[in-house]
Structure 1
Amino acid sequence: MQWWQILLLTLYSGFAIYDGNNTTFGAVKPTMAGFVAGLIMGDVQTGLIVGGTLNLLVLGVGNFGGSSMPDYMTGALLGTAFAVLSGKGAQFGATLAVPIGLLMIQLDVLARFCNTFLQHRSEKLVKEGKFKSASHMNLYGIIPTSISRMLPVFLALVFGSQFVQNVVNNLPMWFMNGLKTAGGILPALGIAILLRYLPLKKNFAFMLVGFFLAAFLKVPVIGAAIIGLAMALVAFGYDSGHTAVQDTGVTDSDRGDMEDE
């Protein structure tokens, strides 16, 4: 692995977690992280598959307040890098990324714990009337959070690539098949989690149409999305027209009578 690849992936991990907490450009999303990692590693397709698979696991899930959630952004970076380096494909990378994301919860908690010192320091400066210094404490909070991602990514890429390669070469076939099976299950699990948060009962007919298009007619995702958009526009237009009739109290038969007059 080239040194510049390690540097770019490390810097991206620090920027992505900052973006997730502040600018929200979307760099922290697993799909974007997988795309960037794939671009850097020279295999965009693998990166998109790894990142997209992980993105399914975080749809409808969010961390609020001081809570922590699995960091699948870091998982997508390392999963893509190791998938390309090992040559075992996206399913291996996605499966490897899941425990990485779970492990990052502990480092996220540690980073938040370190930031409590800065927060208390900021409160003390505010009481002393040193508002400019207090604002600097908030900026310094970026450092522990970014390091909590940059350091493990850097160490994993520097010391882990050859280690992962050796491990992969010596893994038994039954274990590799298990990883592929788990990688195939992950998207279904993500969809199941997402369906729990969607108004499925109200829109069950739309789900059936989408399933029929994908499973039986083999319509690509873009094609199914276009059909879904068309159906949504028709449904929205019908609801809007029905609501307008209710608001005015004029029915279609009333309009016909008025036109005859």
Structure 2
Amino acid sequence: MLEAILIGLVAALGKFGDQLGSLYINRPIVLAPLVGLILGDLEAGLVIGATLELFFMGAVSIGAYVPPDVIVGGTLATAFAISTGSGTEAAIALAMPIALISLAIGNFCNIFNSIILRFTDKFGEQGNYRGVVATHWIIGLLTVVRRFLLVFLGFYLGASQMSGFIDAVPEVIIKGMDAAAGLLPALGFAMLMRMILNKQLTPYYFLGFVLSAYIGVPILGVAIMGTVLVLVKFDFLNPNKAKLATSEGVIQEEDDNEF
């Protein structure tokens, strides 16, 4: 019971981060280690969290696209994998189905959120600032409570059944999931590159590839070189940049006043 409550609070923390700003504590790489710490296996939580982060790397809301529920999927999948001793393969197999089920439940609950938003419109027309803020927090807290209940009930009621389900899965499928885990980094980065890669960034991508594949520079070294390139390219190291921008602003202001 206590473990189920704590794991549910981990999921609630992941969503509550949105109420405090985009802190990115809703990602598996943050939530899974917390689950592992609760269940007494921090190492497994770190490994599963890093793997699921690559798996869900492209699961971000862009435009009208609503991604699967990474919070519930990642948290519950990690909890089931660690509690049953099944490892990363089971977490990968369970994460997406759980995330999609939670997404469907969330879409149904959004019907009630739309009703609350009608009061937000009324408060806005009346100039009632506190009423607008209150409805914002009500919707946010309902979303937090929903994720807590889904994870709490899912783990508390389903841990034993999930153990039997995983034991019944053929070994060939588990091995297949293990092989798929090795492809996740490439898949995750490919999904990310589809969104951000352009002609200006392509040379830097190939530069990092050459440094890593042919020269043997470690990933950390490539990351440090990339940071240095960003600092140089955007002129962050120029101590006169702020002064120059300030002086230009003064000159522009004077010109505007003269006009």
Residue 191 of structure 1: which of 184, 189, 192 is its match? 189
Q: Secondary structure at the match of 2:22?
A: coil
**Structure-2 separation of matches of 1:163 and 1:23:** 37
**1:247 corresponds to:** none
**Structure-2 separation of matches of 1:172 and 1:97:** 18
Code of the aligned partner of 1:106: A
**2:204 corresponds to:** 206
**1:117 corresponds to:** 115
TM-score by length of 2: 0.77
Say if 1:50 and 1:79, in contact at 8 Å, map to a contact too. no
> CA, structure 1 residues 135+226, in 2 after alignment: closer, same or farther (shift >3 Å)?
closer
| Post-superposition CA distance 1:149-170 (Å, at most 9, x none) | 1121011111111111112222
Q: CA RMSD in A?
A: 2.9
> CA, structure 1 residues 45+201, in 2 after alignment: closer, same or farther (shift >3 Å)?
farther
**1:44 corresponds to:** 42
> CA, structure 1 residues 94+229, in 2 after alignment: closer, same or farther (shift >3 Å)?
same
**2:248 corresponds to:** none
1:169-184 equivalence runs, <5 A: 169-184=167-182
| Post-superposition CA distance 1:157-211 (Å, at most 9, x none) | 1111111111222221111112222333332211101111233543434333433
**2:150 corresponds to:** 152
Code of the aligned partner of 1:192: A
Residue 228 of structure 1: which of 226, 229, 237 is its match? 226
**1:5 corresponds to:** 3
Q: Secondary structure at the match of 1:26?
A: coil
Say if 1:114 and 1:144, in contact at 8 Å, map to a contact too. no
Gapped regions of structure 2 (runs ≥ 5) = 239-259
Say if 1:57 and 1:186, in contact at 8 Å, map to a contact too. yes
**2:22 corresponds to:** 24
Structure 1 position 225, deviation (Å): 1.4
**2:85 corresponds to:** 87
Structure 1 position 128, deviation (Å): 6.1
**2:160 corresponds to:** 162
**1:256 corresponds to:** none
Say if 2:36 and 2:44, in contact at 8 Å, map to a contact too. yes
Code of the aligned partner of 1:92: A
**2:53 corresponds to:** 55
> CA, structure 1 residues 219+83, in 2 after alignment: closer, same or farther (shift >3 Å)?
farther
> CA, structure 1 residues 62+21, in 2 after alignment: closer, same or farther (shift >3 Å)?
farther
**Structure-2 separation of matches of 1:206 and 1:180:** 31
| Post-superposition CA distance 1:56-86 (Å, at most 9, x none) | 3554653267752111122221121112112
> CA, structure 1 residues 135+195, in 2 after alignment: closer, same or farther (shift >3 Å)?
closer
Q: Secondary structure at the match of 1:23?
A: coil
Q: Secondary structure at the match of 1:74?
A: helix
Gapped regions of structure 1 (runs ≥ 5) = 241-261
Say if 1:19 and 1:26, in contact at 8 Å, map to a contact too. yes
Code of the aligned partner of 1:29: R
Residue 71 of structure 2: which of 70, 73, 76 is its match? 73
| Post-superposition CA distance 1:112-169 (Å, at most 9, x none) | 2211111113334555676544543332212321233112101111111111111222
> CA, structure 1 residues 185+99, in 2 after alignment: closer, same or farther (shift >3 Å)?
farther
> CA, structure 1 residues 64+22, in 2 after alignment: closer, same or farther (shift >3 Å)?
farther
**1:257 corresponds to:** none
> CA, structure 1 residues 138+206, in 2 after alignment: closer, same or farther (shift >3 Å)?
closer
Structure 1 position 236, deviation (Å): 5.7
When structure 1 is superposed on structure 2, of 110-119 and 204-213 the one drifting more is 204-213
**Structure-2 separation of matches of 1:65 and 1:233:** 30
> CA, structure 1 residues 230+110, in 2 after alignment: closer, same or farther (shift >3 Å)?
same
**1:246 corresponds to:** none
